[in-house]
Structure 1
Amino acid sequence: MARPPKCRQVERLPIVTYFKPQGIPMSQLSEVIITVEELEAVRLCDLEGMEQENCAEKMAVSRPTFHRIISAARGKIADALINGLAIRVEGGNYQVTLSKLKCKECGLKWEGTFCKRHTKCPNCSSKDWYSLE
């Protein structure tokens, strides 16, 4: 019996969770599902340009596990791009890490989730904040 997978650490929840090819009605689309931790792996490695060793450390997994996660994500993205499929981001086995944030309006520093859509300053409710990390 295989042991359950460890919970992966994710810094940022996605702002957009659905992508579709232009000009194809939703009723005619098939889709691939990318988990939140697969998207985080793509963000860290391909967008941020980090080495896989550092990405694995940030996500609290081994380097071979990170390689499996990123390979699965890239395969799904390639399938969607080449074959005209929609991409849905959902699910997975992850935990959102807290980031050090600072409000641009009132200057408050706090720990919270890095999510541009939902995170607000707990003092003044401003959405104009930045990460201190």
Structure 2
Amino acid sequence: MPRPRGPRRITCRPDCTYFKPAGIPLRDLEEVVLALEEVEALRLADLEGRYQADAADSMGVSRSTFSRMLDSARKKVSEALLQGKAIRIEMADTPRTGPPE
């Protein structure tokens, strides 16, 4: 049996949960689903430019776990952009927690 997943600190929730190519109805598109923790990893690493060790500490995970989340998120976003898929952000994945104490 796998080890239980530890809690992740998520400090930002996006206002938009869907992104799609223009001119194509959503019902006609395949969907790529990003977990909220993957969005947080993208925000910390790419938007804020933090080092992975610092970003991992902010989320309360190991650096290797952060790296896996970031790699997964980047792959999903690349797939959606290059293959014309919609991106849905799964909001119910992780409860919101505040900044580390």
TM-score by length of 1: 0.70
Residue 22 of structure 2 is aligned to residue 22 of structure 1? yes
Distance 1:25 1:12 in 2: 28
Question: Which runs of 5 or more structure 2 residues have no equivalent in the other structure?
Answer: none
In the comparison of the two structures, how many residue pairs are matched? 98
SS at 2:14's partner residue?
coil
Correspondence 1:1-133 to 2 at 5 A: 1-90=1-90, 91-92=92-93, 94-98=94-98
Which runs of structure 1 show a deviation greater than 4 angstroms over 4 or more consecutive aligned residues?
A: none
Aligned-residue offset at 1:27: 2.0
d(CA) in 2 for partners of 1:57, 1:95: 18
Gaps (5+ residues) in structure 1? 100-133
Q: The residue matched to 1:7 in structure 2 has which SS?
A: coil
Q: CA deviation at 1:96?
A: 1.8
2:32–2:76 contact (8 Å) kept in structure 1 = yes
* Native 8 Å contact 2:34 2:89 kept in 1: yes
Which structure has the highest strand share of the two?
Answer: 1
Is the 2:10–2:96 Cα contact (8 Å) retained in structure 1? yes
**In 1, Cα distance between equivalents of 2:75 and 2:44:** 17
CA positional deviation for 1:95: 3.5
How large is the RMSD of aligned CA atoms in angstroms? 1.1
CA contact (8 A) 2:39 2:73 kept: yes
Distance 2:97 2:25 in 1: 37
> Among the aligned pairs, what percent are the same residue?
47
Partner of 2:12, secondary structure, is coil
> RCO higher in 1 or 2 (8 Å CA, sep ≥ 6)?
2
| Aligned partner letter, 1:56 | A
The TM-score normalised by the length of structure 2 is: 0.92
